[in-house]
Each structure stands twice: as C-alpha cells, then as structure tokens.
Structure 1
Amino acid sequence: MSNIEQAWYTNKKWIWVFLPFTLLFWLISALRRWRYKDHKLASADCSLPVIVVGNITVGGTGKTPFVIFLVELLKKHGYSPAIVSRGYGASKLGPSFPRLVNLISDPSLTGDEPSLLAMRTGCPVVIDANRNVAVKYASQISGVDIIISDDGLQHYKMSRDIEIVLIDGARKFGNGFLLPMGPLRESESRLASVDISVVNSGFIAASDVTSELEYDYRLAATNVIQILTGDKTALSDEHRKVHLVSGIGNPQRFKDTAIKSGLNVISEHWFPDHHNFTKADFDNLKLTSSDDEIVLMTEKDAVKCRKFAQCNWFVLPIDAIISSSLEQVLSDKLRLLTSKTINK
C-alpha cells in the first residue's frame, strides 16, 4: 500500500495539502454527472439491458468474483451474457479496439481481468476504453442478450438498467474524502441512487461455504491449483511453506484469505495493481524451488505468468459466496428487467 493510500485509511493530517485538487475533482465530477443525469435511459446504440458492477472507491472490492457469480446467475435465468471492460493494462499494439477476448488471448493484449473473466465464465468479453463502443460491439455478438459492465459506474455516458455497487467491508470509505484527499471516486451519497449496494465482508472458511451467511457477500477458497498442470490440491492437504506474490489493488485481502485458509505464509511480495509480470520479477525475488515451498498468487496474476511458471507455482482461486437474501434481490431485479425488455 502506497503512502497516500495509508493516509486515506489512517486519517493522516498531511493529506489536507490535496484539498484544492479534491475540490476541483468534485466540481468536474458534479458537472459530468449533471451532463449525463439521464444515464439510466435506454441507449440509442444498444437495445440490450446493461448491468454495471462497480464501486465508489479506488482499489479492490472483489468485483471479479462477483461478476463471475452474476454471469452464472444470469445464465440460470435464461440469459446469454457478454462482459465489457476497460481492459486496463492492455497493450495498444496489436488488434484494433474494441477487442474480443477469448480463452487463448494474450493477457498483454487484453489486460489481466478480462482474460480471467473469459476463462472463468466462457462468455464473450469485449474491451475498449470507450464503454459505449464496447457495449455496442458486444450487443452485436450473436446470441448475446444482456451485458455486464465490469466497473464503469462513473462512465456516465454509458446507459445502464441496473447499478450494483460493491463496498469493502473492512476498509469501507477510508477518511470519507474524494480523490486525491481520500479514496472516493464519488461521495457516499451516490449509494442512494444505485439499485443494490453489496458489502464484501471478507473471507469465509472453506468448511462454512455451505452455511447460511449473515452478510450479503463473502469470498471463499476451497483449493489451490498448480499453474502448469491445472491440478487441484485441497487446502487441507497443503501444508508447505507459502510465498505470496501479487499485483492487485488490495493484497492484504489475499494474505488474509491465505492465512485463514490454514496456509503457512512465510513471505509476501507485493507489486503495483495490474503489474505486468515478467520472469525477471521472480528471478529478483530469489524464491526457492524446493518441494516443501510454493509460490502462491491470485488468478488475476497467474494469467500473466503461465508462460514462465515453475512446477511449484500455484494459484488460489476465489469464489463469491452470496447469501440467499441477496440472491433473491438480484433474481427479483432480473425478473423485473426481463418483463421490461419483453414489453419494449
């Protein structure tokens, strides 16, 4: 975590030096929201319903596993979804945008999260910095009848039918200030206008996965997977020493998940969010290749490391565990959305 991020969550006084920039950020954001105040109206470029999964803070809130869950829920309701994403980290070299991401796409050309979403969901993923362009492209893919925007809550120009906001239950809204004084992209009052606010209350032990949850949304890990072979190993059987390597927005959650899973973490190596890993990164870490030690990373990181992975490198897949009450709310929203679509 950078010094400024630490200041956001520990109420450091020196953060007030950014007050003029925060006021400017607020003014620009307010003007943009006013300009696109009707962003929930139907788009002339897309006749399909659009669901946005986003947040009002910077940093990780667990969007990726939630989007994966949402895809499965949509399929259960008879939909054939596509996902659109900015494609952060995708090289500008290569095919023109918008780009369609598939199972064999090079993560350097697509970004890590789109590659992961394509692999985990099997549905079309389209990336473009212009969300409207991505949505229009996705809507023209044969069979697609609904679109999920992975992030893009603040892309006001993009129309949407349902807004879902994820909130980090541990960090919440930090000091409550807008960028750059605080972690907020929009003020907390924005939550009053979204359709569903979901609190990610953290990790739940694998043994409790089937239990009824008190909170709306938690994360669970049930096994580790060898990157080269795809072989699964139960967490309960994995007692070797673990080196954590990650380049995600909130690596502390990854560490907490590993420890609460019973893994013996002996070191951690954090890189910037969306870091483009190379073999040299691991050579510099001088990690051992002995049989009693493993390197463990998130799925988002692993998609960029397969070409040079070693036999003792593993990935810790994370699944979203949704309470029955939240699933019911989501299902009700989808049924209402279906009836509106039919009556258009």
Structure 2
Amino acid sequence: MRLSLMLEKAWSRHLSWILLLVPFSWLFRLLAGVRRLYQARLVPNPPLTVPVVVVGNISVGGTGKTPLVAALAHWLQEQGYHPGVISRGYGGRASRYPLLVTTNCSPLSVGDESLLLANICPVVVDPDRYRAAIFLLEKTNCDLILSDDGLQHYRLPRDIEIAVVDGKRQFGNGQCLPAGPLREPVKRLKEVDFVLTNMTTSDLLDKTKDRKTASLQNSTSFAIEPIQLRQLNSDEVLPVTGLFDLNQPGKIWFKDWGYGLQVHAVAGIGSPERFRDTLGSLGLDPQLHHWPDHHNFSGEEFAFQDDWPIIITAKDAVKCTHIINDKIWVMDVQAVPDSLFLKGLLEQLRELKS
C-alpha cells in the first residue's frame, strides 16, 4: 500500500526520481505495441454478431469507469436495447471461466465491480473477454455488449471505443509504466470514438483541468453524483438532497447528521480522494482511510474508537455484507454523462444497425 502511494505521488510530478525508470517505459511501450499488433492484426478473432462498446482508459487507477458503464447500461435499456457486460472480474478468482455473474456470487470469485453491474444487466467474467462475449451471447438475449475495461484487450473486436479520463489526475507526468501511470501513450486517445473526462464541480470551475482533452475530437465530460446514503445493515436511506436544510445551516434532519459532522471515509478504490471530496461537498468533515483498490474487508478496518459515522462506497459494500456494524453507511452514486455524448453514441449505434 505504501509503495503504491509513493508511485502515485511520483507519477503526478514531472520532475522526480521516477524518471530514472523512463528507459523501462520505452521498453514497455515497445512491448505494448508488439502485443497490439499481434492480437489485433496477426491473430484477430471473428467479429461478434452484436455491437461491442469498450469502455476503458489509458491510465492505471480509478477513473469512474464502472459507474459510467452502469449508467450506460441503464440508458441503453431506456433506448430499447438489451445490453450485457463482459469484464475480467478484477479482484476475483473464480474456479472456472467464463462465468455468468449472479447477485449470489461471491466478490472473491467475480470481483466487486462485476457484482455491482449484475444488478442492472447480465454480466459475464473471464480474463479472455472474447470468450466472455461468446458465452454472454449464448446464455442471454443480449443485443449489445459493453466491455467494462479492456481498451488494451485487442483480441476483442470492437465497434465503438470510449476512453475515460480522470479530470483531476489527468495523465500524471505523461509517461508510460513504470515511470508514469499510462498503459498507452496519450496519442492513443486520437483513435477512440469518444473521450469522457470525469469532472467534479471544482474541476468544471477550473477551466485548465480539461485542457489536455478539450482539443480532442468527440471529447466531453461526465459527473459522478451522490444519490443517497443507506445503512449497510438495514433498509434506512438518507437522500443526499434532504440531508441538510440549506436555508438553515446546521439544522439536523436525520439523527446526528449535520454540517461539519466528522465521519470516517473508508475506501478500497482507485481514486479515494474523489470519495473524500464528494463527502466534503455534502457538508461533512471526512477523515479518509485508504485501502488498496479491490481490498477485501474483514471488519477490522472499521474498528474506530469513537462514535463517528463510517461511510463506504457501493463498490466496497458488496464485500462488507458479512460485517455487522450499525455505524456503517454506503454512499450510492450515479454517473451523469453529457447529453451530446449520448446523442453521438446513439447515432453511431444506429449506423451500425443500418
């Protein structure tokens, strides 16, 4: 955990000791290029019988990709499609692949993100995403496939590529692994169909935040907005719009919730700072406790010697159902894509049908 934090800090600086690893980054880029050539051109798989939309990124770490996939699945259903999702099932180790995910599956087998998405539409996990796609088509009535991640999985034929960018971290120092956070050079974004930047309210106010993506064709943004807080061990729900009376600062509406209330923010996600900032935007005073992405919680992580409420993400909540602690609340969020992006996506999907 400490090493990952050191790397993240180093990657955010254009001048640091991490640049000593640049020669290894050149080697990484070379090998990545050879792998892409081999997978996409020398051993290509036959096209699939339904449109394939890949939602991925060119950097490591959380970018808001899974909430976006969830939002797209909901939106596509509203447009009359029957989407299905394929995923590597990162963080899980199933005894067999491919595997159709159900809500009864263990996150230890299928991963946390796949379990979240299975509440919306059919999901199949498999490190081989092409095999996952074939299995999905065999077992469900899906007429469109969303690939959660897999932008660099070139054995998977795709019709539309969506690259997701973190509006806060952007591309770090611009270097590829291991000297930087990039899986592929930034110029890869010129090849995708859409670039979506995950922008917070503060990011949107800072016009310099999206300067690196604004010039790209089909570049838009999306926001991840909190919907509600729900108690982990009960059905109690607090809609964030009713947490506080904005006309009477400090008025308590629900139990002890109020402006400036100190809370523990516990997260095992790729971008925990965004989680902390979102809680702060709700008027809370969060103390962040960061665990590695896809961390499996035992319950000891929540043993605090105070009575502060504990707030976790929905992604982490699927791994905490066995924990009995009435101080734990889950923050549910939704991604809100730009309307111009949705219009463009729908046009491209209709062109694929014609």
Query: Per the shorter chain, which TM-score range?
Result: 0.7 to 0.9
Residue 46 of structure 2 aligns with an amino acid whose one-letter code is A
2:339 is equivalent to residue 324 of structure 1: yes
Partner of 1:146: 144
Shift of 1:17: 1.9
Deviations 1:143-195 (A, max 9, x none): 11111100000001111111000111111111100101111100011111111
The answer as to whether partners of 2:196 and 2:220 remain within 8 angstroms in 1 is no
Counting matched residue pairs gives: 319
Equivalences for residues 44-83 of structure 1 within 5 A: 44=46, 46-83=48-85
| C-alpha distance in 2 between matches for 1:250 and 1:262 | 20
Equivalences for residues 243-262 of structure 1 within 5 A: 243-262=264-283
The secondary structure found in structure 1 opposite 2:12 is helix
The answer as to whether partners of 1:45 and 1:136 remain within 8 angstroms in 2 is no
Summarize the Cα distance change of 1:230–1:287 in structure 2 as closer, same or farther, 3 Å threshold.
Answer: farther
Partner of 1:111: 111
**Which range moves more in the overlay, 17-26 or 47-56?**
17-26
| C-alpha distance in 2 between matches for 1:38 and 1:48 | 21
The answer as to whether partners of 2:302 and 2:310 remain within 8 angstroms in 1 is no
Shift of 1:45: 6.8
| C-alpha distance in 2 between matches for 1:300 and 1:65 | 10
Partner of 1:221: 226
2:45 is equivalent to residue 25 of structure 1: no
Partner of 2:9: 6
Partner of 1:296: 311
Partner of 2:320: 305
The answer as to whether partners of 1:203 and 1:257 remain within 8 angstroms in 2 is no
The secondary structure found in structure 2 opposite 1:297 is strand
TM-score by length of 2: 0.85
| Residue ranges of structure 2 left out of the alignment (5+ in a row) | 203-218, 245-256
| C-alpha distance in 2 between matches for 1:38 and 1:62 | 30
| C-alpha distance in 1 between matches for 2:23 and 2:147 | 32
| C-alpha distance in 2 between matches for 1:37 and 1:280 | 45
Partner of 1:211: none
The secondary structure found in structure 2 opposite 1:307 is coil
| C-alpha distance in 2 between matches for 1:97 and 1:203 | 41
Partner of 1:274: 294
Shift of 1:124: 1.0
Partner of 2:351: 336
The answer as to whether partners of 1:201 and 1:215 remain within 8 angstroms in 2 is no
Shift of 1:21: 1.5
Residue 122 of structure 2 aligns with an amino acid whose one-letter code is P
Equivalences for residues 172-211 of structure 1 within 5 A: 172-203=170-201
Residue 332 of structure 1 aligns with an amino acid whose one-letter code is E
| C-alpha distance in 2 between matches for 1:203 and 1:117 | 26
Residue 103 of structure 1 aligns with an amino acid whose one-letter code is T
The answer as to whether partners of 2:174 and 2:182 remain within 8 angstroms in 1 is yes
| Residue ranges of structure 1 left out of the alignment (5+ in a row) | 205-213, 340-344
Residue 90 of structure 1 aligns with an amino acid whose one-letter code is G
Residue 9 of structure 1 aligns with an amino acid whose one-letter code is S
**Which range moves more in the overlay, 17-26 or 60-69?**
17-26
Q: Which residue, out of 131, 135, 140, partners 1:133?
A: 131
| C-alpha distance in 2 between matches for 1:304 and 1:193 | 36
Residue 245 of structure 1 aligns with an amino acid whose one-letter code is V
The answer as to whether partners of 1:101 and 1:127 remain within 8 angstroms in 2 is yes
Residue 308 of structure 1 aligns with an amino acid whose one-letter code is I
The secondary structure found in structure 1 opposite 2:315 is helix
| C-alpha distance in 2 between matches for 1:36 and 1:176 | 25
The secondary structure found in structure 2 opposite 1:268 is strand
Shift of 1:217: 0.6
The secondary structure found in structure 1 opposite 2:340 is helix
Shift of 1:125: 0.8
| C-alpha distance in 2 between matches for 1:225 and 1:333 | 38
Residue 296 of structure 2 aligns with an amino acid whose one-letter code is N
Shift of 1:337: 2.4
Residue 166 of structure 1 aligns with an amino acid whose one-letter code is V
TM-score by length of 1: 0.87
Shift of 1:38: 4.8
| C-alpha distance in 2 between matches for 1:162 and 1:215 | 16
Deviations 1:193-252 (A, max 9, x none): 111111111258xxxxxxxxx962111113211111232102324324310000101100
The secondary structure found in structure 2 opposite 1:183 is coil
Partner of 1:264: 285
| C-alpha distance in 1 between matches for 2:32 and 2:235 | 44
Deviations 1:251-295 (A, max 9, x none): 001111110122232x22110111111123333xx343x3xx211
Residue 265 of structure 2 aligns with an amino acid whose one-letter code is L
Shift of 1:73: 1.9
| C-alpha distance in 2 between matches for 1:50 and 1:169 | 26
| C-alpha distance in 1 between matches for 2:106 and 2:85 | 18
| C-alpha distance in 1 between matches for 2:329 and 2:29 | 43
The secondary structure found in structure 2 opposite 1:10 is coil
